[in-house]
Amino acid sequence: MKFVVIQEVGGRWVWELRNIDGDAVCRSAMGFKDREQVFKAIHAVRGNAPRALVFDPLGTLYEGV
């Protein structure tokens, strides 16, 4: 997995998380005005979610995922 930083046509920056084949599996929900902001967002995702639990919409916990 790797993060890819992209500058869009309008000048906004986004990130994508791509699998080993280069397919995007996740993309930032918003664009950022500069690269520094997009790097901060990537750092936040990497740092804040390593132990995130997985739930379905009704609140059932999926253990071992």
Non-local (6+) Cβ contacts of 16 within 8 A are: 3, 4, 6, 24, 26, 27, 28
Listed in sequence order, the residues at least 6 apart from 53 whose beta carbon sits closer than 8 Å to its beta carbon are 61, 62
pTM score: 0.76
**pLDDT by residue (tens digit) across 13-33?**
999 999 889 999 999 999 999
Mean per-residue pLDDT of the chain: 88
Residue 58 token pair: 């009704």
How far is it, in rounded angstroms, from Cα 49 to Cα 31?
20
Which percentage of the chain shows pLDDT scores above 90? 54
Pick the CATH number of 2-62 from 3.30.160.160, 3.50.30.50, 3.40.50.620, 3.10.520.10: 3.30.160.160
Non-local (6+) Cβ contacts of 44 within 8 A are none
